[in-house]
Chain A
């Protein structure tokens, strides 16, 4: 039976560990061996909304495995813009390829595609809903950098109310027995309360603070996100907080030696360039890990063993 990747919620801890193991093995393979694994296979990258990084990362992964890539980078390049239905697009494109990678602004569209398609579907982000490959690459990065996931302490900074990446990663970390989270967010962008409404309220601890520097000295991973003016109901609040969410190299003096700063990218204002040169900067290697994890995902869903 074909296997889709739609949501982290569909995966058990063991299944997630499988992806991580596979990614480590992919990384250990010599390039010429890797290049033979998906020869003759075609991936369709169907991007109904632009997402250059995610698309290039998937295309790079497929090329590294020797496979071919077709696709489009935005909706206006498709027959959908001529009025073709979404499902018709799926019924057509599934004849052209072996696996589909779909990015779409509509929530739930990835699952719809998976239901009607006869070949595996990988969700590369559907609206504010799910983006599982991002979460898997984040977990892979954390495991590579720290050597483990369970028991670590993670600080999330910025827009914790809307960030799909943050929500999905917190849920996954909870499954891996990460129990302590530090949340640094302005009043209007705090993490939704239902994260604290777990069945095991005594197991998980969420510390909320407005002070970035306080979090830095206490965590193993510092996960940064962007805050946007348009998210604030009260502009006065935005003006008050906007500068206090900028990470600079000087602020990292008190950091634990193994701390890694991660960011889903693109960064705009939240990490100063002087952080790039420090040993803590983990966000560009994170992008490299994204390709490796996506190689692992393509292999797994095309049923190729290594």
Chain B
């Protein structure tokens, strides 16, 4: 296949022009002439910008066990619409992915059903050590309960896991600092207070410092939501620790005022916090302190969200690239940072081969985006929440077309090819 009239983003934040030749799913050549073979199918990119497909290292597609909330097939379609071509799915399923066997079964499920490329994580359990690195992109440590498993909040338990695994992703809220509800139900962000985050960071840092340098794992702090985490990350990186930070769009677009006004649709773990936190996170993005964006796409049904005891989670994957492009329009980030935040850093952090940008030899995971003169009208919602909390923003960008491994999987709202993606 040849993409003509292409204008694409490089890792340095520049735009190059010409045509892109794709063979067997990979980019084989860039050219500026029109001397490509006559037999190739041609895709015309005129009027669009081509971005590298986003890697979203944090999704909950809810399989196995809760397919009614989303499902791998539906979730991967939502991903395509948002410009996401690779995902990493979280292990807090029903049952949680705590064994090699469950990892293997979950891999079969994704290999069959996911339209995008995929990786999965393994759910750490207290004191349990299992060699799973071929089957899983990372080990997820929940310091707050997120499935049937008990949270891991002890410094020594953390240290033991850190010593065994080479790459861990941490939900950094220390459950032992959560407040119990009294008679009056506390707002979500008070029940899960800031000091739970601070305590979690302290324990992670202590555990890391107790280990000799060569035994320390790479640590990803998932869904950074406070100013304190951004400061901690900056300090630890400067000290030479192999720590990485992920934040999510909902912490960049909303504050706890939105939750107080509108309730459960903004209830998420960790909670959305203050205006100051939001400002500091935006600043951390613009200064390159936060490494990448994960959506933490966590759908629940409308009925669940409206119930008296609503579950936590926000689903936003199907708008994620327009959200990030909006941050460029707003002058928060530039194109180079967009490349890093949506693609390159996650590829480096999780060792994802051949998907760190638009270059020769890499997989043709490409997204055509278009800037609109008018904000886009309401579109159908794919994800099973059935609801777009971002509809109050006037995003001026639209994903027109998404290619995964050189195959057009999404075009103008349709899914012309439902073949599965590859394991990453």
Contact = CB atoms under 8 A, between A and B. Distances in A.
Given A115-B240, A128-B336, A233 B283 contact: no
Given A197-B283, A233-B15, A107 B334 contact: no
Contacts of B15: 230-233
B24 interface: no
Interface of B: 7, 13-16, 49, 237-238, 240, 279, 282-283, 286-288, 330-336, 371
Interface residues of A, number: 22
Report whether over half of chain A's contact residues are helix, strand or loop; otherwise say mixed.
Answer: loop
Interface in A50-98: none
Given A162-B13, A197-B279, A192 B286 contact: yes
Contacts of A277: none
Contact of B334 (A115, A129, A161, A230): A161
Contacts of A194: 282-283, 286-287, 331-332
Nearest to B325: A233
Contacts of B240: 112, 115
Given A192-B286, A194-B286, A197-B279, A231 B332 contact: no
Contact of A191 (B16, B283, B330, B331): B331
A107 B335 CA distance: 16
Nearest to B285: A194
Contact of A192 (B7, B279, B331, B371): B331
Nearest to B284: A194
B238 A111 contact: yes
A234 B371 contact: yes
Given A231-B14, A231-B15, A162 B334 contact: yes
A17 interface: no
B408 to A, nearest CB: 22
B340 to A, nearest CB: 10
Contacts of A112: 240
A193 B286 CA distance: 9
Contacts of A233: 7, 15, 49, 335, 371
A220 to B, nearest CB: 26
A190 interface: yes
Contact of B332 (A108, A193, A234): A193
Nearest to B333: A192
A162 B14 CA distance: 11
